[in-house]
Amino acid sequence: MINRFSVLFLALLGASPALACGPDTDCLLGDRYYRIAMPENHDGATPVGAIIFAHGYRGSAQGIMRNTNMRRMVSDMGLALVAVKSAGPDWDIPGVPSAMDSTGEAEMAYFDAVVSDVTTRFSVDQARIMMSGFSAGGMVTWELACKRPDLFAGFAPVSGTFWQGPPKSCVAPASVIHIHGTADNTVPLAGREIADTKQGDVAEVLSMYRAEGDFGTIDGAEALNDLTCQRQSNVDGNVLEFCTFPGGHSFRRSFLSYAWDRLSAAGKV
């Protein structure tokens, strides 16, 4: 006779690892986690692309997943949405006021683990993952663009940049679509001093990345609603775009679809 404990054991044994977590349940990675929403009606087998999104200061993966409009848009694009979570209230990156002496390697290891876990547990195509984030999440996105360029198909930092100015060099620049409000007072385009550190100047960051990646002269400009973008490319087919909108420190889900479309047009996703 099978008792209730045997039934429970058999149920756990037969459970799919991919079903163990999702948009409302943490996908555990040691003492860290992420959450994921696969496209609606996904068959569980067909590989799909994904957008990994990093929250701003004091944000959460749960908060990202509560943005039902963003989840619906990403699902309609046929993509998975992955919401990552900092270990503390802010991302552990060089120059951030809460961790002035940080090398940022702990966060780099976390994102290595997230990509590995997502592509193992779920039908996510590693060659079609875009990294994005808002505010502090945009800052960690820039760190990844510099230190982990091959981990993602492209990067879309929104209203965030390096602390204390750009690094002296990056590993090998990839495709970046940077989006920023012209009237942003929280993370101004020119940066601002906070405590004993200073947010970087976006123009300096783009200049560094442009030189590192040997991006040529501006070869395109585009206006989408009130989003105005200038585009450059290099011999490797990577794109560098700087997009502005007449607003403050804010995020719109359409920024993600725009960035994904630009990476798609460049053949990156």
- Walk along the chain (269 residues) in steps of 10 and give the mean pLDDT of each run: 37 45 97 97 96 97 98 98 95 87 92 98 97 97 96 98 87 93 97 88 94 86 83 94 96 96 95
Pairwise CA distance, residues 158 & 139, whole Å: 8
Closest CA to 166 of 129, 235, 98, 213: 213
Question: pTM of the full predicted structure?
Answer: 0.91
In the prediction, which pLDDT does 217 show? 78
Q: What contacts 79, CB < 8 A, 6 or more positions away? A: 39, 48, 49, 50, 51, 260
* DSSP, res 199: B
90-106 burial, b for 16+ CB within 10 Å, e for fewer?
bbbbbbbeebeebebee
- What CATH number belongs to 25-265? 3.40.50.1820
**E strand or H helix at 105:** helix 105-121
Closest CA to 224 of 266, 252, 203: 252
In the prediction, which pLDDT does 17 show? 47
In the prediction, which pLDDT does 3 show? 44
Q: What contacts 246, CB < 8 A, 6 or more positions away? A: 181, 182, 183, 226
Tokens, residue 87: 């270990």
Pairwise CA distance, residues 240 & 238, whole Å: 7
In the prediction, which pLDDT does 13 show? 36
* DSSP, res 81: E
